[in-house]
């Protein structure tokens, strides 16, 4: 078993599941979306993105692109949360809907990454 491939798969799946966990709930209800879960999703996506650097294949480039999209979407969601919280001292439903919408875009990019990983794994020959 290749430890590098295990870590790669772990972080890709972990990024997707954390992102999914944050997105689940009413889109405009701040009580359904934890800021620490968003922080963890950003952190794990950073690690997943770092693991994708160095792969010189075409599939590796698509992996990296999907990871960068997810990371940018999550960073944008974090910035919206930060500035909305600073301005209002509480997150209103419209701001939360924007945050969750950005995180949904990141979830789609993470799903693409997981699908690519599964397809790449099934195409490998021993």
- Angle between the 35-52 and 3-23 helix axes, to the nearest 10 degrees? 150
* pLDDT single digits (tens) 68-116: 999 999 999 999 999 988 877 778 899 999 999 999 999 999 999 999 9
Q: 3-class SS at 61? A: helix
What is d(CA 21, CA 34) in angstroms, rounded to the nearest whole number? 9
- Whether the model pTM is above 0.85: yes
Collapsing DSSP to helix, strand or coil, 26 comes out as coil
Burial string for 13-44 (b: 16+ CB within 10 Å, else e) reads: bbbbebbebbbeeebbebeebeeebbebbbeb
């Amino acid at each position: 078993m290749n430890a590098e491939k295990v870590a790669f798969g772990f972080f890709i799946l972990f990024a997707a599941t954390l992102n999914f966990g944050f997105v689940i709930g009413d889109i405009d209800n701040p009580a359904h979306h934890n800021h620490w879960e968003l922080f963890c999703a950003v952190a794990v996506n950073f690690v997943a993105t770092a693991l994708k650097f160095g792969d010189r294949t075409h599939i590796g480039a698509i992996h990296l692109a999907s990871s960068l999209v997810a990371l940018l979407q999550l960073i944008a969601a974090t910035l919206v949360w930060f500035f909305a919280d600073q301005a209002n001292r509480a997150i209103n439903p419209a701001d939360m809907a924007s945050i969750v919408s950005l995180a949904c875009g990141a979830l789609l990019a993470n799903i693409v990454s997981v699908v690519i990983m599964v397809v790449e794994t099934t195409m490998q020959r021993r």
